[in-house]
Chains A and B, each alone.
Chain A
Amino acid sequence: MSTIYILWLRQIKRYFRSKARLIGSLGQPVLFLVALGFGFGPVFEKAGGGSYLQFLAPGIIAMSILFTAIFAGMEIIWDKQFGFLKETLAAPVSRLSIMIGRTLGGSTVALIQGILVLIIASAIGFRPVGLAAVPLALVFMFLIALLFTAFGTAIASVLEDMQGFQLIMNFLVMPIFFLSGAMFPLSGLPKALTIVAALDPLSYGVDGIRASLVGLSHFGYFLDFSILGGVVILLMLLGSYLFSKIQI
């Protein structure tokens, strides 16, 4: 327990200390909210979709969680190369508790990032249907954070260095974001896109947040929650397994 706690605490401390990263990673979601939210607003409204900012904000919250979580998971590569991982792996604690502590730490950081984006979105005009909806949205946000931190950990466990990072960003993380329905409604899409979106776990995360905050749902709460929960468990197992195989 103490191992999990101290590894969690380390991630939190590092997050709050690197102010540049904290502010820098808020830049992109704010730009997306302002440029897309207001830019596409009139078209979206004319097409009968209602307020685009209302529709978009849950997607951008999910996006910022996705990026922060993946990055937090992949931080293991730095630790692997710069030695700190050895300090933890040579300690008399189980690898599973190291993996759990790191994943919880990364997820907490990603969740905080998502909450900050929610606050910023509210400041520029986003309105949740009611404050009672927020706790449920937080559950979905945390599930997304867990899922992608574990995913990042799994990737980082098999990668040797940061060379592959761009590849992962462009061919995995960006598609996960763009095909998730974060920016457009999933109904009435070409068949191929519908299938891809249904295979993308982030679709269910975005849908869950949107369902709780705005009351718009494509899959329904139950499906969102079950699929996210299932994938979280799968990736935690995979991440733990791959992490336990690291040799340095």
Chain B
Amino acid sequence: MSTTTPIITVSGLTKKFKDLVAVNNISFSVLPGEIFAFLGPNGAGKSTTIKMLTTLLRASSGTINLNGFDPIIQPYQVRQSFGIVFQDHSLDDDLTAYENMHFHAVLYKVPKAVSTQRIEELLKMVELWDRKNDMVKTFSGGMKRRLEIARGLLHQPKVLFLDEPTLGLDPQTRNHIWNYIINLNKENGITVFFTTHYMEEAQKVAGRIAVIDHGQIVAQGTVAELEQKTQTDTLEEAFLSLTGHEIREEAGSQLDRMRRMKRLH
């Protein structure tokens, strides 16, 4: 047994929406300083799990411990412990980059003297300092992502959650973003938990991977362990061997409708 206590411990976690079981009795743990990936097809339950870990959804059953706190009993301590980059953009488009950062600093009660300095450092890190007074609506998808990462780090969280952080970005930008994250992990020892359905990302970035499908973890371990377990040579083969070849339909096009409406607006 390892002597370090895990920073995230999940056991028997289940989430039901009416008759749909989105997450079905999953258990895993993540050690401090690890980069842990949730790999799974669309609709596997990745985002639902992240929402439960980040206090946005209540689990139907099971327990979560994050940085020593329980999201149900100590939501504020849990929220103070993590930074998050959501799958969909969560910036205010009508505020500037700096204002979005400042808003976050106030919500997380980062003292003014500290926040001024950290906002500058972080915006420089993601190379947005010279655009700090521009409205976020003028930013590209990649710039918004970089700003969200900077914002997620502002209150110096122990854990950084990234829900499909590179979805819809070009390969150059994806590469760029992963470089920041890997550097952060190396230099500050921040624990990174991300979800993806890009196999090469999981392979390249994650120390350990949990493969999730139909709400259940079907396998977890390092890339080598997963390949060994399925007796395959690549992570892709291992993944397909674990989750099958059938194509998944993603539920709910409601958000797409809203996006169209907003464009017309």
A binds B: yes
Residues of A within 8 A of B (CB): 2-3, 5-6, 10, 13-14, 17-18, 78, 81-84, 86-93, 160-162, 247-248
Among all A-B residue pairs, the 6 with the closest Cβ atoms: A83-B90, A91-B107, A92-B79, A6-B106, A92-B76, A83-B88
With A10-B92, A83-B89 given, is the CB distance from A90 to B54 under 8 Å?
yes
- In the bound complex, residues from chain A placing their C-beta under 8 Å from that of B205 are none
- In the bound complex, residues from chain A placing their C-beta under 8 Å from that of B91 are 83-84, 87
- In the bound complex, residues from chain B placing their C-beta under 8 Å from that of A2 are 106, 109
With A2-B106, A92-B79, A162-B261 given, is the CB distance from A83 to B86 under 8 Å?
yes
CA distance A3 to B110 in the complex (A): 12
Complex interface bits, B195-207 against A, C-beta within 8 A gives 1, otherwise 0: 0000000000000
The answer to whether A86 touches B56 (Cβ under 8 A) is: yes
CB distance from A230 to the nearest CB of B (A): 32
- In the bound complex, residues from chain A placing their C-beta under 8 Å from that of B54 are 90
Residue of A whose beta carbon sits closest to that of B84: A90
B255 at the interface (CB under 8 A from A): yes
A-B contact pairs, 21 of them (CB 8 A): A6-B107, A10-B103, A13-B95, A14-B92, A14-B95, A81-B255, A81-B258, A82-B90, A82-B258, A83-B88, A84-B90, A84-B92, A86-B86, A87-B86, A90-B54, A90-B79, A92-B77, A92-B80, A160-B254, A248-B56, A248-B57
- The count of residues in chain B whose C-beta lies closer than 8 Å to any C-beta of chain A is 34
CA distance A86 to B108 in the complex (A): 14
Residues of B within 8 A of A (CB): 51, 54-58, 75-77, 79-80, 84, 86, 88-92, 94-95, 99, 102-104, 106-109, 254-255, 257-258, 261-262
The answer to whether B262 touches A3 (Cβ under 8 A) is: no
CB distance from A57 to the nearest CB of B (A): 31
The answer to whether B58 touches A247 (Cβ under 8 A) is: yes
- In the bound complex, residues from chain B placing their C-beta under 8 Å from that of A92 are 75-77, 79-80, 107-109
The answer to whether B95 touches A87 (Cβ under 8 A) is: no
With A6-B107, A13-B94 given, is the CB distance from A89 to B56 under 8 Å?
yes
CA distance A18 to B54 in the complex (A): 33
- In the bound complex, residues from chain B placing their C-beta under 8 Å from that of A6 are 102-103, 106-107
Residue of B whose beta carbon sits closest to that of A89: B56
With A2-B106, A86-B86 given, is the CB distance from A247 to B254 under 8 Å?
no
CB distance from A83 to the nearest CB of B (A): 4
- In the bound complex, residues from chain B placing their C-beta under 8 Å from that of A90 are 54-56, 79, 84
Please pick, from B76, B79, B80, B94, the residue contacting A17 in the complex, using a CB distance under 8 A.
Answer: B94
Please pick, from B95, B254, B258, the residue contacting A10 in the complex, using a CB distance under 8 A.
Answer: B95
With A90-B55, A91-B107, A161-B257 given, is the CB distance from A82 to B89 under 8 Å?
yes
Residue of B whose beta carbon sits closest to that of A248: B56
Known pairs A10-B103, A162-B261, A247-B57; list 18 more (Cβ under 8 Å): A6-B107, A13-B95, A13-B99, A14-B94, A81-B255, A81-B258, A82-B262, A83-B91, A86-B86, A86-B90, A87-B91, A88-B107, A90-B55, A92-B75, A92-B80, A92-B109, A161-B254, A161-B257
CB distance from A209 to the nearest CB of B (A): 31
CA distance A88 to B55 in the complex (A): 12
- In the bound complex, residues from chain B placing their C-beta under 8 Å from that of A160 are 254
- In the bound complex, residues from chain A placing their C-beta under 8 Å from that of B108 are 91-92
CA distance A81 to B256 in the complex (A): 10
CA distance A86 to B88 in the complex (A): 10
